[in-house]
Amino acid sequence: MHLLGSSAKPDTDSRRPDASSGPRDSHPNSQVGALRSRAMDVHENVGENGEGHEEYEDAGLDARRARWTATGTGALLALVGLAASTLRLTGSAPALVPGAYAFGAAVCGLASVLGARGRTRRALWLLIAGVMVMALGDQFD
């Protein structure tokens, strides 16, 4: 048992920061104060009716741009995939290659539809998957 007045060996545990060993910000619990301060700032920005006051007023414009970008990119990649599928179908490529291009184009077309409906994250992942299918199909040529 360690008594306060005893002359026992000093605590040399290097995992615990000492108060005199540098700035207080290096302590992992110093982030708690910063988070509390941020929470108070957010709480102060809430109006009487519980409505938050946004500093950024163009959120609707950004959402509209994201929908148009996802829709346009999906449609463009779908057209390019269909064109590549048609060109590969007329050539001497195995049947898997134009099929992969057509399937990738269909996935990109679905991404275009989802993007128009506002599901831009899902549309992004479908665009990535569609392009990957097309690229994988091109490797069989």
Res 50: pLDDT = 55
What's the rounded Cα separation, in Å, for the pair 98 and 96? 6
Six-digit token string for 15: 């995992």
Res 68: pLDDT = 95
pLDDT bucket at 28, cuts 50 / 70 / 90: low
Helix, strand, or coil (residue 105): helix
Over residues 81-94, mean pLDDT: 91
Angle subtended by helix axes 59-90 and 120-139, to nearest 10: 20
Residue 5: pLDDT above 90?
no
Q: What percent of the chain has pLDDT over 90?
A: 48
- Taking the CA atoms of residue 91, residue 93, residue 96 and residue 100 in that order, the dihedral angle to the nearest 10 degrees is -60
What are the backbone dihedrals phi and psi of residue 131, each rounded to the nearest 5 degrees, phi first?
A: -65, -35
Res 12: pLDDT = 54
pLDDT (tens digit per residue) in 99-131: 999 999 999 999 999 999 999 999 999 999 999
